[in-house]
Amino acid sequence: MLPGIGVFGTGAVVKVLVPVLREKGFKIEALWGRTLQEAHDTSKELQIPFYTNKIDDVLLRKDVDLIFILCAPVLHAQIAVKALGIGKHVVCDKPAGLSQSEALKMVCAAQYYPSLISIVNHSLRFLPAFSQMRRAIHEGYLGSINEISLIDIRVQMGSLLNDCFDWLCDETMGGGTLTLVGSHVIDLVTYLVGHKAVRVHGIIRAFTKTTNKIKGIRNISAPDFCSFQMELANGTLVTATLNNHVAGSGFHQEVLVCGKSGHLAVRGGDLFGRKHNDIKSAEEVLYLDVEDLQCPTPVSVIPRPYIKGLCKMIRALREAFLPVREQAGWVKEPVQLAATFEDGLYVQAVLEAVKKSSQNREWTIVSILKEQPDPNPLLSAAVRRTTISLT
């Protein structure tokens, strides 16, 4: 039997996700909104029977066993830790909190309750084109993993802002293309090649300070452009450019991976490749995205690759709760592909390093917070927080 779902959030992602969940057989039992009016309006639109603006009113419901956290990042850690503590499965939108310290709390909670599902919504992992790209990389299409020299990622899209001033306008609240799109990019690189960044260099800019509807005493601080480089542990160089200034022309995303033997490229949802010994020939089509999306929702709200990946992730989540898996203790097996809270902590470390690099205008080491037992338990039973460098 599929678990009842409690949803935190009332934004565009929620209005896309709820129909997908229902199409897969899940029942949405409760909805939380920042204000009671927002919760009421969204619950009425999505036909959700219970709504509230109090977090505990959703978490403590007996008919809710799976939590989707799709609200402002400032609440991600608080809700996730509390939900795991009372035995609820958790799917959290990116990023994992607002900082490494918040992400670390989520990691510790997930480790304390290992039987519960706790994943981050990095849906590109489930996009078939990237699954095929990862397989080709590990099967040696480009040579060995250590022979991959360059990964170049370019994302062009319109504004991420709403019509009114909210957390999406504020960098300190988790808004901006680096956090909302860059987190996907950072996670995707590790998923594809299995290596993490050891140092980064980046530049972040918020060119749009006001809009026709957001003006006055409040200025927009969320960046709408960023370009950063990552040096991975195996020496691979990653370059990423994220641009929110291409209004009206849709969404364009290209991920190019170059190795000793050739290159692979995902454009939109299609995978292309070419061997160096076939340089005179055109790229071969390795995977063409012709599968019907089959999601009962307008795909214009969120770019198609992210929507399709989300649908695939929900399908895997559904399989995780099949009775045969619950009885055998295999609940987590179908979602092993998903990003964990540990992955979310690493993404936060890279995000913080990119921001620091942009401020200092220099290469910055990526350091991950980690809790370790006190070396002298006789003096203290607490844990101390140390900074562990990936280098």
More confident residue, 263 or 323: 263
Are 94 and 184 in a shared domain? no
pLDDT of residue 296: 54
Res 377: pLDDT: 41
User: Considering the chain, what percentage of its residues have pLDDT values greater than 90?
Assistant: 69
Is there a single domain that holds both residue 137 and residue 271?
yes
Q: Does the pLDDT at position 354 exceed 70?
A: yes
Asked whether residue 198 falls in the same domain as residue 242, the answer is yes
Domain contains 359: no
Residues 167 and 138 both lie in one domain: yes
* Per-residue DSSP letter, 60: T
Q: Which residues of 72-98 are buried (b: 16+ CB within 10 A; e: fewer)?
A: bbebbbebbbbbbeeebbbbbbbbbbb
Q: What is the pLDDT of residue 383?
A: 36
Instruction: For the chain, give the mean pLDDT.
Output: 88
The 3-state DSSP class for residue 105 equals helix
- Same domain membership, residue 130 and residue 113: no
Taken as a whole, the chain contains a residue count of 391
Are residues 112 and 13 located together in one domain of the fold? yes
119 occurs within a structural domain: yes
pLDDT at 72 over 90: yes
In a domain, 241, yes or no: yes
Rounded to an integer, the average pLDDT of 107-118 is 93
The pLDDT confidence band at residue 321, using thresholds 50, 70 and 90, is: confident
CATH of the domain at 248: 3.30.360.10
Residue 322 — very low, low, confident or very high, per pLDDT cuts 50/70/90? confident
User: What mean pLDDT do residues 32-47 have?
Assistant: 95
pLDDT at 373 over 80: no
Taking 80 as the threshold, does the pLDDT of residue 247 lie above it?
Answer: no
Task: Specify if 170 maps to a domain.
Answer: yes
106: CATH: 3.40.50.720
Residues 33 and 167 in one domain: no
Token pair 């999601």 in the structure block, residue: 295
Residues 134 and 274 in one domain: yes
Domain membership flag for residue 294: no
pLDDT band at residue 19 using 50, 70 and 90 as cut-offs:
very high
Nearest Cα residue to 254 out of 148, 133, 123, 126: 133
Question: What's the confidence (pLDDT) of residue 226?
Answer: 97
Task: Based on the fold, state whether residues 67 and 180 are members of the same structural domain.
Answer: no
Res. 389 pLDDT band, cuts 50 70 90: very low
Domain boundary among 287, 318, 353: 287
Range of the domain at 19: 4-124+301-340
Q: Is the same domain home to 51 and 169? A: no
| Predicted structure pTM score | 0.89
Beta strand residue intervals within 18-117, DSSP E: 27-32, 50-52, 66-69, 89-93
Dump pLDDT digits (tens) for 149-160.
999 999 999 988
Q: Could you tell me the pLDDT band of residue 331, with boundaries at 50, 70 and 90?
A: low
Q: What is the mean pLDDT of residues 98-115?
A: 94
One domain for residues 148 and 240 = yes
Q: What is the spatial distance between Cα 363 and Cα 376, in angstroms, rounded to a whole number?
A: 36
* Per-residue pLDDT at 372 exceeds 60: no
- Provide the domain count of the chain: 2
Does 53 score more than 90 pLDDT? yes
Q: What is the pLDDT of residue 302?
A: 78
Q: Does one domain contain both 275 and 131?
A: yes
- Tell me, what's the pLDDT at 386? 36
289: tokens are 């995205």
CB 51 within 8 A of CB 40: yes
**Quick check: is 96 in a domain?**
yes
Confirm whether 178 is domain-assigned.
Answer: yes
Would 379 be classed as within a structural domain?
Answer: no
**211 near 158, Cβ under 8 Å?**
no
The answer, yes or no, to whether residue 297 has pLDDT greater than 80, is no
pLDDT in tens, 178-237: 999 999 999 999 999 999 999 999 999 999 998 888 888 888 999 999 999 999 999 999
Predicted confidence at residue 267, as pLDDT, reads 95
> CA-to-CA distance for 93 and 73, rounded, in angstroms?
8
